């Protein structure tokens, strides 16, 4: 993406709100994710610093989402999945789960809702193997096209992985098309982020989700995001157990300590947890450890939909249908 005319202080909208004028004001999670993404791409360590300070370029490190400065050029996710748009589909508000309030907690007791953001990725198939071995179910809040992985509906092995999720009883949900902050983009772009992901998911499994998680946990009422998500018929799902795997990709023991402490605390009857299936150590190391703790409590791992006592029929819509 060409950098001509971009001020040096401009930073990708996926990394910070446009109103923030200094890198030191970035939220810790956003900085951590920016650094993690640069490590995953295998680019030089200085990339994250260049990203935060707004350096410009035309290579994939600058033009790949979620860090591409989309108002100034063409990003790699600037693609539209094949098939009719879902934008004007009917969106009845089905079921008893709130479409108005942010969701942080389960309704069901004795469970941990297992949720994974940012996939599918190269470790997702292994994660499905682990889930199967424990008899646990999970919700996958998926991005459609970012981190140079290609569009999920046309790039192997992702269609097969997503079909496997459905076949094995997991829940597929949306984390937007290319992981932009939904509070910091216009309504039209926000809706485009959702309907592109809908179309891609429907191209794979014939339906699209009613559950979503905002990237960076950013979907404010003031920005219009609440209204847009309700108009599109989405439940906004967050979490009350943050494993912080994104902060500890190479020091996952810290995340193990977190889940040990939280699950050992008395009084709670359930949790809604978050991990990221693009973090290798989270999949290969933390997950089994976490699952063993859940089993030791006599609890089970479930989808977000199950933890909210929402029947699976309410988790999806059919293109052109309800």
The pLDDT value recorded for residue 84 is 97
The pLDDT value recorded for residue 32 is 53
The pLDDT value recorded for residue 66 is 82
The pLDDT value recorded for residue 299 is 98
The pLDDT value recorded for residue 21 is 29
Intra-chain end-to-end CA distance of the chain, in Å? 39
Which neighbouring-strand residues pair with 272? 113
In order, the DSSP letters of 157-187 are THHHHHHHHHHTT-EEEE--SS---GGGS-H
The pLDDT value recorded for residue 266 is 83
The pLDDT value recorded for residue 25 is 33
CA gap 138, 90 in Å, rounded: 27
The pLDDT value recorded for residue 125 is 98
Residue ranges of the chain whose pLDDT lies below 70: 1-57, 60-61
| Predicted TM-score (pTM) of this structure | 0.84
Q: What are the catalytic residues?
A: 117, 276
Both tokens of residue 167? 């076949």
The pLDDT value recorded for residue 150 is 94
Residue 107 buriedness (CB in 10 A; 0-12 / 13-18 / 19+): middle
């Amino acid at each position: 993406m060409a950098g001509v005319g971009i001020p040096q202080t401009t930073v990708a909208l996926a990394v910070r709100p446009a109103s923030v004028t200094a890198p030191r004001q970035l939220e810790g999670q956003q900085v951590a994710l920016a650094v993690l993404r640069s490590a995953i791409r295998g680019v030089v360590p200085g990339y994250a610093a260049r990203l935060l300070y707004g350096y410009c370029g035309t290579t994939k490190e600058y033009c790949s989402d979620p860090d591409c400065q989309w108002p100034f050029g063409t990003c790699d996710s600037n693609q539209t999945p094949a098939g009719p748009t879902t934008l004007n589909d009917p969106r009845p508000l089905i079921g008893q789960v709130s479409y108005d309030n942010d969701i942080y907690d389960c309704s069901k007791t004795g469970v941990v809702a297992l949720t994974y953001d940012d996939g599918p990725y190269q470790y997702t198939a292994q994660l499905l193997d682990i889930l199967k071995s424990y008899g646990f179910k999970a919700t996958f809040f998926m991005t459609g096209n970012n981190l140079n992985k290609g569009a999920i509906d046309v790039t192997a092995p992702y269609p097969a992985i997503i079909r496997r999720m459905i076949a094995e009883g997991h829940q597929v949900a949306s984390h937007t098309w290319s992981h932009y902050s939904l509070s910091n983009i216009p309504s039209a772009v926000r809706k485009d982020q959702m309907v592109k992901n809908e179309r891609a998911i429907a191209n794979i499994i014939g339906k699209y989700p009613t559950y979503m998680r905002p990237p960076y946990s950013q979907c404010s009422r003031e920005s219009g995001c609440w209204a847009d998500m309700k108009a599109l018929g989405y439940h906004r799902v967050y979490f009350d157990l943050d494993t912080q795997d994104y902060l500890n990709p190479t020091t996952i023991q810290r995340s193990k300590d977190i889940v040990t402490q939280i699950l050992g605390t008395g009084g709670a009857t359930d949790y809604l947890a978050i991990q990221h299936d693009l973090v290798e150590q989270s999949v290969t190391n933390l997950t089994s450890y976490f699952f063993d703790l859940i089993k030791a409590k006599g609890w089970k791992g479930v989808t977000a939909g199950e933890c909210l006592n929402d029947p699976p029929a309410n988790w999806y819509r059919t293109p052109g249908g309800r």
